[in-house]
Amino acid sequence: MAKHLQDTTTLYNGVKMPWLGLGVFKVEEGPELVNAVKTAIKYGYRSVDTAAIYQNEEGVGQGIREGLEQAGISREELFVTSKVWNSDLGYESTLQAYEISLRKLGLDYLDLYLIHWPVEGKYKEAWRALETLYKEGRVKAIGVSNFHIHHLEDLLKDAEIKPMVNQVEFHPRLTQKELRKYCKEQGIQFEAWSPLMQGQLLDNPVLKEIADQYGKSVAQIILRWDLQHGVVTIPKSTKEHRIIENGSVFDFELTKEEMERIDVLNQNHRVGPDPDNFDF
């Protein structure tokens, strides 16, 4: 079990991925973004998750460069994720999208590159491109995002390399039990986006009660619940005190009963699009 902000899970190919990272969804280019990334690195985060569609890879790259220099650590100590957008899914176009992301980030390689959404008829060609990048040693790990079980099964029919990660919406109102079980059986690391349900759970009475017992915030309880479920999590924040708070979840442990109390909050409720029904 993760005991420290820099603790990692080992993906099935041997690559180590931090259990907790910084997400930057909806954070626009500019000083706020650069500072958030620098702040996260300063306080011990070793993982940053972005995507081409966020249109903030340049700022993330700047934050990484300045943050690494400030902390006196090397690029190799950081785990950087980006994702190929739907309009670039295809063999050549995905290879090209990877180069563009690298250039914007100012990096020589990514630690993890994901297919952002399972666009029907397109994700297999994109996966072939990810396999090429991986075989050539251009990226340390490859995976998918927002894939249901049937998408994964379909991908695995033709894939040479199994995805190392599946990053999906996951929080106490959407516990994804079957998908988590499937990923575990397949050796695919499960990762949560929107772990705090975009703030919608912060006044939940059950979570508040548990939080009060530990002298923690509701956000910290949810992130701890993620980790104890073996789920990698990437809460988004740009505020220094929140970045510190989100990373301070390694000094307590939820009991089995508390975990179950949180599990039963599930309503299969999404705040994001349904991977079976999106039109972008």
What single-letter amino acid sits at 183? C
- Sequence-distant (≥ 6) Cβ neighbours of residue 206 within 8 angstroms: 261, 262, 265
DSSP 105-168: HT-S-EEEEEE-S--TTTHHHHHHHHHHHHHTTSEEEEEEES--HHHHHHHHHH-SS--SEEEE
Q: CA-CA distances (angstroms) from residue 10 to 77, 150, 165, 230?
A: 15, 25, 11, 11
* Residue 1 confidence (pLDDT): 74
Residue tagged active-site, from 54, 98, 123, 134: 54
Architecture of domain 8-263: Alpha-Beta Barrel (3.20)
* Residue 82 confidence (pLDDT): 98
Tens digits of residue pLDDT in 13-64: 999 999 999 999 988 999 999 999 999 999 999 999 999 999 999 999 999 9
> CB under 8 Å, gap of 24 or more: what pairs does 70-76 form?
70/38, 70/41, 70/42, 71/41, 71/42, 73/41, 75/107, 75/108
Separation CA 274–CA 174 (nearest Å): 12
Separation CA 57–CA 266 (nearest Å): 33
Separation CA 194–CA 71 (nearest Å): 28
List the beta bridge partners of residue 142.
113
Closest of 250, 230, 248 to residue 11, by C-alpha: 230
Tokens of 249: 């979840």
Tens digits of residue pLDDT in 133-156: 999 999 999 999 999 999 999 999
What single-letter amino acid sits at 138? R
Mean of per-residue pLDDT scores for the chain: 97
Give me the count of residues in the chain: 280
Separation CA 30–CA 254 (nearest Å): 38
Separation CA 239–CA 143 (nearest Å): 29
| Confidence grade of residue 163 (pLDDT, cut at 50, 70, 90) | very high
Looking at the chain, the number of H-run helices and the number of E-run strands are 10, 10
Is 214 part of the annotated catalytic residue set?
no
Separation CA 204–CA 265 (nearest Å): 10
Mean pLDDT of 245-259: 97
Q: Is the pLDDT of residue 261 over 90?
A: yes
Mean pLDDT of 167-175: 98
Separation CA 116–CA 130 (nearest Å): 12
Q: Is the pLDDT of residue 159 over 90?
A: yes
Does the reported pTM lie above 0.95? yes
The C-alpha angle 232, 127, 135, rounded to 5 degrees, equals 85
3-state secondary structure of 257: helix
Tens digits of residue pLDDT in 57-109: 999 999 999 999 999 999 999 999 999 999 999 999 999 999 999 999 999 99
Q: Is the pLDDT of residue 2 over 90?
A: no
The domain ranges of the chain are 8-263
CB distance 166 to 147 below 8 Å: yes
CB distance 26 to 278 below 8 Å: no
| Confidence grade of residue 172 (pLDDT, cut at 50, 70, 90) | very high
